[in-house]
Amino acid sequence: MTAVEAVEKLKAGDVSPLELVEAAEARILDTDDAVNALPVRCFDRARAHAKSIMDNPPEEGSRSLHGLPIAIKDLTPVEGVRFTLGSPIFADQIAEQSDIMVKRLEEKGGIVVAKANTPEFGAGAQTFNEVLGTTTNPFDTRMTPGGSSGGSAAALAAGQVWLAQGSDLGGSLRIPASFTGVVGLRPSPGRCAHGPSPLPFGLGAVEGPMGRTVADVALMLDMMVGEHPVDPISLPAPAYSYLDKVKEPTAFGKVAYSPDLGQCPMDPEIAEICANAAKAFVNYTKGVEEDCFDLSEGDMIFQTLRAAQFAAAHAPKLESHRDLLKPDVIWNIEAGLALTADDIGRAQRAQGALYASVARFFETYDLLIAPTVMVPPFDHTIRSLSEVGGVKFDNYVAWLAMTYLLTNTSCPVISVPCGFTKSGLPVGLQIMAPPHREDLVLQAASAFEADHDYVKAVPVDPVVRAG
């Protein structure tokens, strides 16, 4: 069942929260040895929550998940549950309180059954760490599911849970969604309140929903939105339901397609699959034109502001636990510490100019469409890609540029499945809309999804192949 179908069954009393918790537990135990998506489990806590919901069902007509099992990424605390952040520094840490986002999901009937694996502090888009090991791709366990929300994506693709939370700075919701054939939405900053956070005013990293269908993602987004005093940039909940919006027929104006955002080398097979997918948008728009705003300074913007944020968040750990940090994290912290005020000022000015150009762009187009990732899923033993199409990279995140260049805009972006490689690995397409218009990306993704059968590919029993 999809998450939407499961919630309807729960609401009608055709199935109980406890039955779904036990179903999720059985599936996790049956499949997770192959994929290592949900290594931190809290089944007893989940059963207690399920019984509480059964004893105190939500009021008639209230928007609720009605006891649906979900997974939370291990960068987010869940009270009483192991909270490693993928780091040896916190290998044995137990969260003393839940993030307000988790509290909101639980108050609305979500039942946390497990924590999803992530790279250390979410650094990089290949999900491995020294505490909980490597997560693999259910479509081929030799391959990576991407990251840093790789555990969440792999759990969804393997049918372990109905919904999963992720986070996204450089593409951590979108890349694993692309690599595992599921849907991941990067909302506008502030759309999904979270915290307490040591950097509450940051505009780069966001929390967001992941699911196997667009409607499932819309359902979870409905449960996550709304301002909260702990999060100073949080936005009010809209007057409408995102799930209702995806059910509405929508007519779009012109949309733009960019095969490479004007900056990125592309694997030829990915380029062909995504170009063919973009052509389908002529069926529900006034036309598709190849176009994009100028992203020539996008790499500088992202790398500078990300490094500054990394230093702000993790510099104390470099002083106290340098020997326990992976080399990529050390590099990122040191890159941030080496920045000058002029470096940061230049990046901020360039981002302001970029935002102005994006606003002008959306006066002509309703949407921007682009491939999610430069490449298909690759060997999970490779820590990061050093080159694509003959273009060599000088850092471990450069191969993520198709997603992080769009992060700079602060616009909502979704990755939706759009095809498969000749070897049977999933490929995703990004759809971006103007600021705060999550409804538009969901509607466009839903229209595309309805015309294709890629959604039927998941859940999949993990395909275990010898490396």
432 band by pLDDT with thresholds 50, 70 and 90: very high
CB 71 within 8 A of CB 161: yes
Q: How far apart are CA 233 and CA 286, in angstroms?
A: 35
Q: How many helices (H) and strands (E) are present in the chain, helices listed first?
A: 14, 15
Q: What is the pLDDT of residues 180-217, one digit of tens each?
A: 999 999 999 999 999 999 999 988 999 999 999 999 99
172 flagged as catalytic: yes
Q: Does the pLDDT of residue 339 top 70, yes or no?
A: yes
Mean pLDDT of all residues in 168-188 = 98
Mean pLDDT of all residues in 403-429 = 98
pLDDT recorded at residue 467: 65
Residue of 98, 149, 172, 384 marked active site: 172
pLDDT recorded at residue 60: 82
Q: Does the pLDDT of residue 288 top 70, yes or no?
A: yes
**Residue 452 CA to chain centroid, in angstroms?**
22
Residue of 73, 108, 245, 317 marked active site: 73
Residue whose token pair is 């968040």: 313
CB 333 within 8 A of CB 358: no
Q: What is the pLDDT of residues 93-132, one digit of tens each?
A: 999 999 999 999 999 999 999 999 999 999 999 999 999 9
Q: Is 231 helix (H, G, I), strand (E, B) or coil?
A: strand
Q: How far apart are CA 45 and CA 53, in angstroms?
A: 13
pLDDT recorded at residue 408: 98
pTM over 0.95: yes
Q: How far apart are CA 232 and CA 242, in angstroms?
A: 23
73 flagged as catalytic: yes
Residue of 148, 188, 234, 415 marked active site: 148
From residue 196, give the alpha-carbon distance in Å to each of 141, 209, 220, 228, 465: 36, 19, 21, 10, 42
59 band by pLDDT with thresholds 50, 70 and 90: confident
Cis peptide before 196 (omega within 30 of 0): yes
pLDDT recorded at residue 466: 76
pLDDT, averaged across the chain: 97
CA angle (64, 201, 232) in 5-degree steps: 50
Q: Does the pLDDT of residue 164 top 70, yes or no?
A: yes
Whether the CA torsion 194, 196, 201, 203 is positive or negative: it is negative
Q: What is the pLDDT of residues 205-254, one digit of tens each?
A: 999 999 999 999 999 999 999 999 999 999 999 999 999 999 998 889 99
Which amino acid is it at 126? Q
CATH of the domain spanning 3-296+347-457: 3.90.1300.10
Q: What is the pLDDT of residues 78-93, one digit of tens each?
A: 999 999 999 999 999 9
Domain residue spans of the chain: 3-296+347-457
Q: Does the pLDDT of residue 42 top 80, yes or no?
A: yes
CB 94 within 8 A of CB 83: yes
148 flagged as catalytic: yes
